[in-house]
Amino acid sequence: QVQLVESGGGSVQAGGSLRLSCAASGYTYDYNCMAWFRQGPGKEREGVAAIYTRGGSTYYADSVKGRFTISQDYAKNTVYLQMNSLKPEDTAMYYCAADPVPVKCAMVAGAGVSDFRYWGQGTQVTVSS
C-alpha cells in the first residue's frame, strides 16, 4: 500500500522559513517523480516543485523559483521542500504526490490533482503578514 506522509507545516510570519518532509513507503521509490502541490483557500490545487528520484533533476513553478528548494534523501525515501522568504500568498495546504511517469516532473508547474497517481493527506502552511 502506497503511503506518502507529510510533516513540517505550521504558522510563520512573512519572510520566514519552513521545511516540509514527505516520507514515502509501500512502493519502489526509485524511478518516480516526487512532487509538492498546494491548494489555497478557494483555489485549485497547483504544482509547486518536483524531483525525479533517479538522478535528482528538479523542476519549479515560476511563483516559487529562487525561494523554494526541493530535495531528497534517497536512503530514507524522503522528499523535502525548503521554503524561504515566505509570503502570505504561500498560505495553503501542501500535498506530496508521486507518479511513475518521468515526464510528470517537467509538467509539474501546470499540473493538477488528476495528473499524479499517489497523494498524501497534506500539511497546512500559514504565513501571516
pLDDT at residue 29, rounded to an integer: 87
Q: Which residue has the cell 519552513?
A: 18
User: Cβ neighbours of residue 65 under 8 Å, at least 6 residues apart?
Assistant: none
Q: Radius of gyration over alpha carbons of the chain, in Å?
A: 13
Percent of the chain scoring above 90 in pLDDT: 93
pLDDT at residue 31, rounded to an integer: 86
Q: Which residue stretches of the chain have pLDDT < 70?
A: none
pLDDT in tens, 33-64: 999 999 999 999 999 999 999 999 999 999 99
Say how far apart CA 127 and CA 129 lie, in whole Å. Answer: 7
